[in-house]
Structure 1
Amino acid sequence: MITSLQALRFIFALFIFTEHFPISEDAPHLLHGAGAMGVSFFIVLSGFVMSIGYEKRVQEPAFRWKDFMFKRLIRLWPLHLLCLAAWIILAYGAWGSSAIYPLPLLGNALLLQWLPIEHIEGNSVAWCLSVLVIFYAVYPFVARFKTRSLFLFFVGVSVVLHGLTILYRPINTTAYWYISPASRILDFLLGMITFRLYRKALNQGGKQRWACLPVMLRWGIELIPLGLYAVALCYLRSDFTDLKSVVLFYVPSCLVIFLFALASESEEKDGIPELLSQKWLIYLGQVSFSFYMVHNLVILSVKKGLEYFAPATPWELRLVISLVGAIVAGILVNRYFEAPVANRLSKLLPAKK
């Protein structure tokens, strides 16, 4: 992956961490709205990265949808099941909860969190995997669309969904917008469209033109999507709705991915993407999926543990302990479970001829 985008994966995972970290009972979020921002970035990035790796492959005669999906699932499902098992153990033991429902948990294990089933949450952050699996399943078919058809498909889905939210406003369907695969596929499609624009820019000499720009102008352009993120986040925090928490981040997510990818291709190695291309930050980006999956478990465990052993601990210290614990846990899970399991299961795929 492009190094600056790899680093951004960890930075946006940190934003999701701040959404889930509770300061107190009255302030359940350290930075409310940051989670929505992080999730939008990740889904758009998934569409972009999937296109980099597979847009041409899915059109080859030797392409096998079954093998493609198997490779996606072995990266997601084993870690999801591990974290779900950890959640069950912690809920029964350390957290002292008895509200565990077998059938909803089965739905959770099967990555059906997007279904409106009560008590299906489990390790709540895994809902994102349940929609990504659907997007991966349809990607090989949608990737065959021409760019204009892909854009028209995006517009058509947007119009239909917007109409439904107006038609069924009395029953508050916008509350389901945030986790519904029917709505979140718009983020994924935007990632695919962003890749098409990025590829066109490269083919038309975009990286050379970028390199010819003055250094300060390049810095200014790279700051634009970051500024749009800040404005969107501030607006969302002042007037939060599930619908706004999705659509407000469409433009900055596409723009930051397009600009940082283009800048990384340029021979002029300066600007924000170069600052992000630090080995330690790239490595944290590589383990960001494990960090994402375990961070809420760590936050809740640290909170419960300190409430029992040291109830006077200030939230600032609890924040440091939780963050360090989540990073360490993410690194260990990636090194000793996520990567080895995926590598071993990948050997079940037929060898390439």
Structure 2
Amino acid sequence: MQTRPSNPNLRSLTGLRFVAMLPVFLTHAAFEGVFSDAKASWGFLDAMGNTGYVAVSFFFVLSGFVITWSYRPTDTPRKFWRRRFFRVFPNHLATYLLALVLITSVGLSVGLLPSVTQLFLVQSWVPDPAFTDTGNSVSWSLAVDVVFYALFPVLLVLVNKIAPARLWYWVGAAVVGVAAVPAIALTALPDTPQMPLGGVSVSQYWFAYFFPLFRLLECLLGMLMARIVLTGKWIRLPVLPAALLVVLAYWAAQQVPYLFRLSAVTVLPVALLTAACAVADADGRGTVFSGRVMVWFGELSFAFYLLHNLVLKYGHLLLGHTEEEGELVGHTWSVPTGIALIAAGFAVSLLLAWLLHNGVEKPAMRRWSRARAKTPVTEVIGALPVKDGAI
């Protein structure tokens, strides 16, 4: 039984979404290699390290936490699926079409089958970079979300059946499961062909990072943490120590093999920070992430996520490129100019995110996320004009 009333207004977690979005943006900016100085380009990429991976793990944990926290007894699977569909698909479709326009504008092409799988958000099931790297490549994570949303009503029933006193044991099991995935990948899958970075094979990387069924473990962990808070089993860990645990876990992750850095070492501290911020909001204390400006940025984070890599990748190519070994390579610039272009990419992404959020995301949610109430027949008849005793 829940001892704390659920409260969907988690301002700190909304603000924290954009904080997590920053390393994702900067990591993708580093991959663009805009600096003419190779040392500076590699230094930028090394500095970002695995921060983007940790941020993506946070988004999966956050999704499980928030959806469980805000679910109401009056909700039905159909209502839930409708809200999720109109929360995700309009933005996805808009950015998918934009990606096709940008691809054409730089003279590239995309395979029919990969583009179809991306449109229907099933590309992450295919262990081939041609499917996950095509078009608006960041939408691979939506393919994980779609599976989670589809299974959520069943998962919630199962999670709600766990006795509150045993929830932390299940958290431990979920964390062990997350850590087991890269171990299985390294043991059971071939180590060739290799990825350009990380010293792991394409199939090993796909198995540990893209495969939806295993990323569901992080969503499930978020659900368990929400139940822990709702049932009064939280350990009262404050936000600052929880944030420090994330930093320490990130440092520790740099000491282990590559695939374990993606989420295995950091997922528990990330989950603890998520719960700590939610408790602070529920108790009315707020955090540094709950201010008006942070929340405004956080509200744009989903649109920003879907747009930022399109701006970085195709904006880079549109500014000038050459063809090397059959691939388009963008121009490079001095470090000050490169930094200015990255900052401009951030500003353009933010502006486009504001337009997408207010022009597509919010109108779609208002118009279609809930079924319109049917007007009773008696009210319709009563509103009709009456003349000569007839209706």
Q: Same fold (TM over 0.5)?
A: yes
> Contact conserved, 1:4 with 1:274, CA < 8 A, in 2?
yes
> Which residue number in structure 2 is paired with residue 90 of structure 1?
102
**SS at 1:246's partner residue?**
coil
**Partner in structure 1 of residue 351 of structure 2:** 328
Q: Which residue of 2 aligns with 1:297?
A: 310
- Name the counterpart of 1:182: 213
Listed one character per residue, the Cα deviations across residues 67-116 of structure 1 (whole Å, up to 9, x for unaligned) are 321221111112112111111111111x3323x11111001100012122
CA distance in 2, matches of 1:39, 1:296: 14
Unaligned runs of 5+ in 2: 1-8, 192-200, 322-330, 376-391
CA contact (8 A) 1:114 1:127 kept: yes
Given the alignment, which residue of 347, 361, 365 partners 1:338? 361
State the alpha-carbon separation in 2 of the partners of residues 231 and 160 from structure 1. Answer: 21
Give me the whole-angstrom Cα distance separating, in 2, the residues matched to 1:75 and 1:9: 16
Please state if 1:285 is matched with 2:321. Answer: no
What is the aligned counterpart of 1:119 among 116, 127, 130? 130
Aligned-partner Cα distance in 2 for 1:238–1:164: 19
Letter of the structure 1 residue corresponding to residue 351 of structure 2: V
How many positions carry a matched residue from both structures?
A: 327
**Higher helix fraction: Structure 1 or Structure 2?**
1
**What is the root-mean-square deviation in Å for CA atoms of aligned residues?**
3.0
Question: What is the percentage of aligned positions where both structures have the same residue?
Answer: 25
With over 3 angstroms needed to count, the CA separation of the structure-2 counterparts of 1:181 and 1:321, relative to structure 1, is same
Asked if structure 2 preserves the Cα contact closer than 8 Å seen for 1:16 and 1:35, the reply is yes
Q: Which residue of 1 aligns with 2:16?
A: 8
Please give the per-residue CA displacement for 1:109-165, whole angstroms capped at 9, x wherever unaligned. 000121224522321110111011111111101111222587287479559757743
Distance in 2, Cα, partners of 1:331 & 1:322:
14
Aligned twin of 2:194: none
Change (3 A) 1:56 1:167: farther
Partner of 1:213: none
Give the match for residue 120 of structure 2. Answer: 110
Distance 1:8 1:155, change over 3 A: closer
Residue of 142, 147, 150 corresponding to 2:162 = 147
Alignment TM-score, normalising by the size of structure 1: 0.82
Looking at structure 2, the residues matched to 343 and 88 of structure 1 have their Cα atoms a distance apart, in angstroms, of 27
Deviates more, 1:292-301 or 1:17-26: 17-26
Select 2:90's aligned residue among 71, 75, 78.
78
**Residue of structure 1 aligned with 2:231, choices 190, 200, 215:** 200
The structural deviation recorded for 1:251 is 1.3
Aligned counterpart, 1:32 = 49
TM-score, structure 2 length as denominator? Answer: 0.74
Cα distance in structure 2, aligned partners of 1:18 and 1:331: 19
Task: Check 1:156–1:84 CA distance in 2 against 1; reply closer, same or farther (3 A cut).
Answer: same
- Tell me the amino acid that sits aligned with residue 224 of structure 2: I
Distance change (3 Å), C-alpha of 1:80 and 1:256: same
**Most deviating of 132-141 and 276-285:** 276-285
Task: Tell whether the 8 Å contact from 1:104 to 1:118 is kept in structure 2 after alignment.
Answer: no
1:6-36 CA distance string (max 9 Å, x none): 1001111112111111244753746131211
Deviation readout 1:172-227 (Å, 9 max, x if unpaired): 553121111121111001101101111122xx7x7xx96xxxxxxx8xx4222222
Helix, strand or coil for the counterpart of 1:275?
coil
1:147 aligned partner, one-letter code:
I
Higher CA-based Rg: 2
SS at match of 2:123: coil
Q: Match of 1:76, as an amino acid? A: V
**1: distance between equivalents of 2:257 and 2:319?**
31
Conserved 8 A contact 2:13-2:274: yes
Name the structure 2 match of 1:21: 29
Contact 2:182/2:260 (8 A) holds in 1: no
